[in-house]
Amino acid sequence: MFSFDPYAELAELRPVAPLQLTSPDFRAGSPLPLFAWSADRGGEDRAPALEWSQPPAGTKSLAVSCFDPDAPTGSGFWHWAVYDLPAGTMSLRGGDGTTASLPGGAKVLPNEARLERFIGAAPPAGTGVHRYFFVVDALDVASLEIAADSTPAVLGFNRHFHTLARGVLMGTADPAER
């Protein structure tokens, strides 16, 4: 639907070192696995497993999110937002993405459905192929001091100023497939 890449735009504003972000569940630019679709669309609302390279020296915590900029909202759609992951974390297993399923100290913000968990892809019919950006940022602070009910956009704003390195992995979902 759109060609806009919000993370390329952020890199123009403030360049940061790269992190290699991969998933054993899908390849970059390829369709998301069925389990990462919404339960309403035949999936399981489960986040794919994510793995990333060694963050740079000075990393004190990490943040991970999943964002669909192609949602017909004018502002995209946040599927998942996690912050205050311990600095030594280099992977997340797939699953519901709740605080209980994450390494100690991690916090999950409410997504667009106001649920503190991962919600799967559900692109509406007629909106074309959607892109889902999974992003990990290595941060220079041990904790982002934001309110527990903040939006993922507030997390994005705050992490932008503390990011040392970023990894981006994009998967797709075609509404014609479900």
Q: What is the DSSP string of 54-101?
A: PPPTT--EEEEEEEETTSTTTT-EEEEEEEEEETT--EE-SB---GGG
Q: What is the pLDDT of residue 2?
A: 52
Residue 40 lies in a domain: yes
Residue 48 lies in a domain: yes
Residue 162 lies in a domain: yes
Domain of residue 141: give its range: 6-177
Give me the number of domains the chain comprises. 1
Beta carbons of 117 and 158 less than 8 angstroms apart:
no
How far apart are alpha carbons 47 and 32 in whole angstroms? 10
Beta carbons of 129 and 68 less than 8 angstroms apart:
no
The one-letter code for the residue type at 157 is F
Residue 101 lies in a domain: yes
Q: What is the pLDDT of residue 169?
A: 97
Q: What is the pLDDT of residue 3?
A: 65
Beta carbons of 20 and 167 less than 8 angstroms apart:
yes
Residue 1 lies in a domain: no
Give the mean pLDDT per block of 10 residues along the chain (178 residues): 72 88 98 97 97 98 97 94 97 96 96 98 95 98 96 96 97 92
Residue 53 lies in a domain: yes
Q: What is the pLDDT of residue 131?
A: 96
Residue 20 lies in a domain: yes
How far apart are alpha carbons 81 and 124 in whole angstroms? 22
How far apart are alpha carbons 151 and 84 in whole angstroms? 15
Assign residue 94 the CATH number of its domain. Answer: 3.90.280.10
For the entire predicted model, the pTM comes to 0.95
| Residue 169 DSSP SS3 | strand
Task: Show the tokens assigned to 86.
Answer: 């311990």
The residue behind tokens 């041990």 is 142
